[in-house]
A and B are shown apart, each in its own frame.
Chain A
Amino acid sequence: MKRFLIALFCTTLALPAVAQEDALRDLPGFVDFGGLNEIYGEPKVNISIGGALLRFVGAMAKNEDPEAAAIFSKLKGVRVSVYATGGNAAAALDQVSSVKKSLSALQWAPIVQVNDEGEQVQIFMKMNGEVMDGLTLMAVDDEEAVFINVIGQLDPNELAGLMDDFDVDIGGGLDINVD
């Protein structure tokens, strides 16, 4: 009971992030990944950024990096959930299969599908005429399950340039340098 109350105490501090997630639900590029918390516990990374913050990030970057600003201005939301699978990827792979079915029913187009032994990478895109509504990436292996949903327009060619700006290494830990 004590542990539950403390967990609740810490969780209430993060409630506005949940509200952010709810605000994105009505957008056409939103994908419901379901929940894996019961199996893997809390995600080790859980990010949900809405359009308002993205616009401000873009506005702040406008002078120093117009290309990055242009990318952010076209995004409406970015969501990332990463679970540690701890050598048991079965549940996450089932979840990927379930999400794949939902995406197909909602006219998402598969871009990349890699099915290897105990490892999957799935990339889907939702188009609305000439405009991209969203991009979904799911990658599962024995170490982690990554679920990413980019809502809005994202050009992969522009992404490469943006990564150079961010200089992020998530290999063994988290090393961020946002200059």
Chain B
Amino acid sequence: MTDYKDSDTDMREERINALLDGELDDEQAEQLKREAMGDQALARSIIEAYQLQRAMEGMRVEKAPASLRRRLKRIPREQRPAYLQPGWVTAFAVVPLLVIAVALMQRRAPEPSPAPSQPREPTAAEVAQARQDLAVAFAYIDRVGERAGNEIELELAGEMTDAVAGSVFRTIQHQKIL
């Protein structure tokens, strides 16, 4: 059973790698795209692989020969270095995925579609995703608010310090202590 699953995973990875390497023809790429529309895990894998490829390109590492790359792709997931493990990739890709996941779930709308005058009711998954997006949105609102607050506090503290120091200095001058 496990072997069967691994074989499926390998085939899926090979197709994704072929897409990224430009080895799929138009029909095969279109087929993969159609499957990705209905399979969130597949879509996620494509996006992760694409982002990983971009990250690797950014590292300016000299490309290994094609034959070596093909062999590396065949290494089982467990034996891959840490930077190729899905957890690392997911962490790297998490933010764009939030948006794309919503998009994918919207594309998986139940058919037939409701009457034109009635907006389509979002699925539970869409609502859950929206809730996560909102969490991120409100975290940023909170952070901007906090940043503004800190700046204002710093400014006020500076003015208060000047006011107090100036006042003390004037008092000292007034009393001719110095």
What residues of chain A have their CB less than 8 Å away from a CB belonging to chain B? Answer: 2, 5-7, 9-10, 12-17, 42, 44-47, 49, 52-54, 56-57, 60-61, 72, 78-80, 82, 112, 114, 116, 119, 121, 123, 137-139, 146, 148, 150, 156, 159, 162-163, 166, 168-170, 173-174, 176, 178
Contacts and interface: CB of A to CB of B under 8 A. Distances in A.
Q: Categorize the interface residue count of chain B.
A: 35 or more
B43 A13 contact: yes
A150 to B, nearest CB: 7
Contacts of A49: 130, 133-134, 137
Given A6-B19, A49-B130, A137-B145, A170 B99 contact: no
Contacts of B29: 5, 9
A114 B136 contact: no
Interface of B: 19-20, 22, 29, 33, 36-37, 43, 46-47, 50, 91, 94-96, 98-100, 102-104, 106-107, 119, 121-122, 126-127, 130-145, 147-148, 151-152, 155
A2 B22 contact: yes
Contacts, number: 152
B95 A178 contact: no
A121 B138 contact: no
Given A53-B126, A148-B144, A6 B20 contact: yes
Given A46-B99, A56-B127, A163 B139 contact: yes
